Structure 1
Amino acid sequence: MIRVLLVDDQTLVRAGFRSILDGEADIQVVAEAANGADAVRLTRELRPDVVLMDIRMPEVDGLEATRQVCADPRLSGVKVVILTTFDLDDYVYGALRAGASGFLLKDTEPSEMINGVRVVARGDALLAPSVTRRLIADVVSRGRRPEPSPRLNVLTAREREIIAVVAEGLSNDEIAARLVLSPATVKTHVSRIMTKLDARDRAQLVVLSYESGVVTPGWLS
């Protein structure tokens, strides 16, 4: 059972999301929160598998709440997914840097939301849609050109190749097909890379790839 915490300051939005998710046999909404402070408190109390986190909320916003949740070592198993709209691009990237595992647009199809919760719960980053990759590339490209990071020196040539493909939002199966490897081998490489770079999950590998120059912003254009 995937346990979910819904966080949004709009009651009707929470009710809609709950009705969608609670209809699935493998997903259970364990609680709701209307602001970031309650989100952090309930996350610490209930330890949900996934937190669906709105960005703009009173008192403590979703960005700060995400930062607090992801910085707490006791909550390392909790995955945060940002709920947002297109006009919040900068906030989305900030949330990914803070430790979020990806994001969903609020007007997404119900089936995509359900799949997104499952994807994040099993440890993948919710970064596959092309709009997501384009958004990240655009935001990162506004900053200075990244310098090669010495952190990457611990990676082998194959691991550098794989982290670059992970940054495109590809799944293990897709990476395996591109690099002519087995999915199990790819999974082992990705796990080893996350351990070496002390990354929380695949989303953090994407952020690190852009910031360290492994992937050049604009590759989607």
Structure 2
Amino acid sequence: MSQAASQAIKLRVVVLISGSGSNLQALIDGVDSGDLPIEIAAVISNRPEVMGLTRASKAGIPTLVLDHKNFASREAFDIELMRTIDAYTPGLVVLAGFMRILTPAFTEHYLGRMLNIHPSLLPKFQGLHTHQRAIDAGETHHGVSVHFVTAELDGGPVIVQARVPVLPTDDAGLLAKRVQKQEHVIYPLAVKWFAEGKLKMTNGKTELNGELLAENGYQIEANDI
């Protein structure tokens, strides 16, 4: 296959960020290594001057800032964000630390083609401060989930989870670092599955390689990675 033909079949992806972009970097690294058959068409941030924009620029990826503070309502912001994303004709939208609650109209528009990563073993600990909450709850294991995005916050069907043990010596910071290490493994994996046509959302459930997954998705122990 020619290089032009190989590039032509790559999935176009738009990545949304709000901060440092460490998961964005994991995707960029996957593209650079040849492991991820995608083209990151653009990186869009709702906050100016964040590290994730610098990461994208260094990789030669177009960047845009759409500051939510400049919009009168959540709905107005989401409408403009949709218009901006769609100009790049992506096959997949990836939320990589995008700290916005999205409107139902937005999530419906990208239903089945938008992924998010959340630092807990969903459905446990939806929302914020997940690492401290896991410690406070006496959990023996914690982790991270990649899921399809629906109108329910952190509630879409789970694709893959990586589990890490909660150690007696853990505080929220130490636990967060171990979880983040797994984020950088399973997010590119889920994006790769989608790009290869192995992953889709079917009737509100995750389908991988033609089989419906259980509620917790594909399970990976940290020791397996």
TM range (shorter): 0.3 to 0.5
- Say which structure is richer in strand: 2
- Say which structure is richer in helix: 1
TM, length-normalised to structure 1: 0.36
TM, length-normalised to structure 2: 0.36
